């Protein structure tokens, strides 16, 4: 995304205005907030304190860099001195924190790098460029510690301002120049000290932080709302699905059968997955939690005569037979250029008795999963083999009834699938909006 450069010098325009909204992204609350931002004090403060631009200085000149050492996760204890492990900065912390997730003993803490309130903890190594030099500002009340692969920045700036700036494309471009390594990326404390950052007046830093903190809270609130909405729709769909697949034997004259009575089972092909090949090789990891074959992460096998025996056809139902994925099913629709792997079982249902799509919908139901969980072996890895699978009992209404149930459930399934795509897409769009405005607020005209 292109981010137009904006300046803090007297150009007469606001850094944020209602016209800057990204098309189709801003919600009502965000739009209202942005209109308020248009009247913020940031431009006035910049014109007042630095009409000729902002000074940029190397990190090594604005503070002291203290390199951490030691502190493996095995040092953690239930209580004691708070600590931030470099790996937690990637996964568990945001821009700033007031509490630590972990602790070490006082004896261990005495040997580690000290982090005072207002200091930044910055990672020095990572397996990717995005995470290296990720920072968290420590805003707690007491001194904590950090260990190896992290550097503490002690400074006199607004800590949250500096932490926000480490998230910008400009900072990313600079750290890329100083990064070394391939499998493990490293930016040493010596090189970190060379990265230049803007140093506007503290009043400007504080106002930018205030705006970005509100933005971040809006993003978190939106994420909670969208996830709650999606979960609500999933529960609603599950309720209707289970209701439609519940039959009264005496009143509706529906016979219940075991799966072994109406289907044949075939174990999958044992072969090594390849990056290229004639047939996609569908594996146990390719079945998603919602019963679909994932489009991403495809592997392949060559179309040998042996592989052709395991080619997937329209209407095949695949079930995972081992591990944490046991019992998950996927319905194959249309002719495919694919074969299935050995940790899967192909269910070939007698189509004179049951529609494959009816079986697939049943395999998502509470009735199916209560049986699967009860039947699966519990010694070591869960095993959901053909003998166990064949004992699953399911209703066998006539084909016209099955077609009616499938038609209704397909519509519900499509609605939830659209929602599952649409809501995360909305969340991504809001995050892009947040990043856009963050980068605009943190883009300055450098003083001559």
Q: pLDDT digit string (tens) for 232-273?
A: 888 888 888 898 888 875 556 788 999 999 999 999 999 999
pLDDT at 393: 95
Cα(215)–Cα(25) distance, integer angstroms: 14
What pLDDT band is residue 3 in, cutting at 50, 70 and 90?
very low
Tell which residue, 108, 140, 134, 106, has the closest CA to residue 121: 134
pLDDT in tens, 14-47: 454 444 444 334 445 554 555 455 446 777 888 8
* Structure-model confidence comparison of residues 26 and 299, the more confident one: 299
pLDDT at 2: 34
Q: CA-to-CA distance for 430 and 33, rounded, in angstroms?
A: 14
Q: Is 149 left (phi over 0), alpha (psi -120 to 50) or beta?
A: left
How many Å apart are CA 57 and CA 5, to the nearest integer?
19
CB 89 within 8 A of CB 227: no
The pTM assigned to this predicted structure is 0.63
Contact indicator for 223, 27 with CB cutoff of 8 Å: no
Residue 43's φ and ψ, nearest 5 degrees, are -65, -40
Q: Whole-angstrom distance between the N-terminal and C-terminal Cα of the chain? A: 28
Tell me what pLDDT residue 30 has: 55
Query: Exposed (0-12), middle (13-18) or buried (19+): which is 286, by Cβ within 10 Å?
Result: buried
pLDDT of residue 10: 33
Q: Strand locations in 94-238, DSSP E? A: 96-97, 102-104, 113-115, 120-123, 125-126, 135-138, 144-146, 150-155, 185-186, 196-198
Separation between Cα atoms, residue 33 and residue 18, nearest integer Å: 10
Give the span between the Cα atoms of 196 and 311, in whole angstroms.
Answer: 58
Instruction: Examine the pLDDT at 219 and tell me if it is beyond 80.
Output: no
Give the separation between CA 284 and CA 343, rounded to whole angstroms: 6
Model confidence at 140, in pLDDT bands (50, 70, 90)? very high
351-373: pLDDT as tens digits: 999 999 999 999 999 999 999 99
Distance CA 85, CA 100 (A): 10
The pairing of strands 196-198 and 329-331 is: unpaired
Q: Give the model's pLDDT for residue 88.
A: 95
DSSP secondary structure of 305-372: HHHHTTB--TT-EEEE-BGGGTT-EEE--S--SEEEBTTEEEEEE-TTT--HHHHHHHTTSHHHHHHH
Interior/surface letters 348-377, b for 16+ CB within 10 angstroms, e for the rest: ebeeeebbbbbbbbbbbbebbeebbeeebe
Question: Rounded to whole angstroms, what are the CA distances from 3 to 16, 332, 435?
Answer: 13, 44, 10
Residues sharing a CB contact under 8 Å with residue 235, sequence separation 6 or more, in sequence order: none
Q: Residue 36: what pLDDT?
A: 56
Higher pLDDT, 230 or 126: 126
Please name which of 27, 432, 444, 1 lies closest in space to residue 221, comparing C-alpha atoms: 27
**Long-range residue pairs from 329-332, CB within 8 A, at least 24 positions apart, any chain:** 329/287, 329/291, 329/360, 329/363, 329/364, 330/282, 330/286, 330/287, 330/288, 330/291, 330/292, 330/293, 330/360, 331/291, 331/356, 331/357, 331/360, 332/293
By DSSP bridging, strand 279-282 and strand 338-340 are: parallel
SS3 446: strand
Say which DSSP state 425 is in.
Answer: H
- For the chain, the residue count is 448
The upper half-sphere exposure of residue 290, i.e. CA atoms within 13 Å in the direction of its Cβ, equals 15
* Rounded Cα distance, 100 and 82, in Å: 6
b/e per residue 298-319 (b: at least 16 CB within 10 A) = bbbbeeeeebeebbbeebbbbb
Q: Look up residue 293 and give its DSSP letter.
A: B
How much of the chain exceeds pLDDT 70, in percent?
88
φ and ψ of 342, to 5 deg: -70, -20
User: What's the burial of 251, exposed, middle or buried (CB within 10 Å: 0-12/13-18/19+)?
Assistant: exposed
Average pLDDT taken over every residue of the chain: 86
Give per-residue pLDDT as tens, 330-341.
999 987 899 999
């Amino acid at each position: 995304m292109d981010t137009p450069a904006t300046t803090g010098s007297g150009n007469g325009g606001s850094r944020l205005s209602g016209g800057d909204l990204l098309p189709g992204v801003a919600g009502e609350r965000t739009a209202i907030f942005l209109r308020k931002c248009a009247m913020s004090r940031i431009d006035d403060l910049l014109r007042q304190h630095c009409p000729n631009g902002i000074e940029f200085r190397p990190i090594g000149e604005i503070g002291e860099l203290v390199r951490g050492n030691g502190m493996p996760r095995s040092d953690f204890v239930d209580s004691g001195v708070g600590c931030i492990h470099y790996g937690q900065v990637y996964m568990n912390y945001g821009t700033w924190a007031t509490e630590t997730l972990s602790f070490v003993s006082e004896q261990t803490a005495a040997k580690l790098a000290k982090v005072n309130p207002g200091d930044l903890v910055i990672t020095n190594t990572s397996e990717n460029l995005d995470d290296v030099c990720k920072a968290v500002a420590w805003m707690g009340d007491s001194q904590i510690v950090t260990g190896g692969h992290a550097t503490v920045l002690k400074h006199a700036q607004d800590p949250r301002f500096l932490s926000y700036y480490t998230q910008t494309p400009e900072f990313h471009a600079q750290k890329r120049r100083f990064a070394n390594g391939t499998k493990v990326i490293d930016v040493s404390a010596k090189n970190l000290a060379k990265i230049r950052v803007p140093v506007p007046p503290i009043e400007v830093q504080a106002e930018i932080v205030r705006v970005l903190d509100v933005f971040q809270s809006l993003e978190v609130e939106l994420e909670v709302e969208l996830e709650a909405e999606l979960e609500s729709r999933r529960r609603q769909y599950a309720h209707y699905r289970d209701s439609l697949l519940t039959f009264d034997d005496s009143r509706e004259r529906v016979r219940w059968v075991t799966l072994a009575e109406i289907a044949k089972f075939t174990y999958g092909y044992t072969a090594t997955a390849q990056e290229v090949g004639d047939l996609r090789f569908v594996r146990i990891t390719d079945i998603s939690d919602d019963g679909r074959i994932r489009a991403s992460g495809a592997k392949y096998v060559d179309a040998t005569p042996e592989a052709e025996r395991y080619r997937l056809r329209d209407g095949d139902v695949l079930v995972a037979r081992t591990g944490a994925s046991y019992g998950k099913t996927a319905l194959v629709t249309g002719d495919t250029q694919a074969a299935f792997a050995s940790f899967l079982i192909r269910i070939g249902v007698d189509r004179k008795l049951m529609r494959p799509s009816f079986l697939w919908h049943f395999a998502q139901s509470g009735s199916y999963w209560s049986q699967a969980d009860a039947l699966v072996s519990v010694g070591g890895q869960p095993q959901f083999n053909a003998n166990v699978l064949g004992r699953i009992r399911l209703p066998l209404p006539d084909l016209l009834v099955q077609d009616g149930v499938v038609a209704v459930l397909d519509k519900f399934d499509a609605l939830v699938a659209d929602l599952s795509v649409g809501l995360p897409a909305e969340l991504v769009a809001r995050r892009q909006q947040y990043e856009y405005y963050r980068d605009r607020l943190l883009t300055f005209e450098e003083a001559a």
